[in-house]
Structure 1
């Protein structure tokens, strides 16, 4: 079972969160991450963030990344979106 936790933060407080579960061992881990991120963005009514080099590096090291305003093409009304693999 693969689970990705998505959280929206503003001024140090969590505004919303959700957990996306995937149970398809035939799909690559990268595909599960991207698909789960898309579902999180749909649920939160956000555009998909851009994966910058620093984002990729942080995710590879910690299985967690914060997407700030630099990662979005449109203006955001929160400080950051954080995703974290909690079971993978």
Structure 2
């Protein structure tokens, strides 16, 4: 099973956490990641962030990245959203 964790941080503390599970292995890994990110953002009532080059490189290397204010089109009330693949 593919699982991805999303965590919101504010002032160095975790304020919200969510895990998305994707069981459809007919989709590519990229599709599963994007679907999981969308589910996490819906749960946390956030707009889906934009993938910037640093996010893409970090996620490709470590399966983890942090989306900061520059990845969102609207102002945010937290420091960053961290996503991490926890099981494939």
What residue is the counterpart of 1:7 in the other structure? 7
CA separation in 2, counterparts of 1:60 and 1:25? 19
Runs of 4+ in 1 over 4 A off after TM superposition: none
CA RMSD of aligned residues (A): 0.5
| Aligned residue pairs, count | 88
Instruction: Give the TM-score normalised by structure 2.
Output: 0.98
Question: Unpaired runs of 5+ in structure 2?
Answer: none
> Where in structure 1 are there 5+ consecutive unaligned residues?
none
Give me the whole-angstrom Cα distance separating, in 1, the residues matched to 2:25 and 2:41: 23
Compute the TM-score of the two structures, normalised by the length of structure 1: 0.98
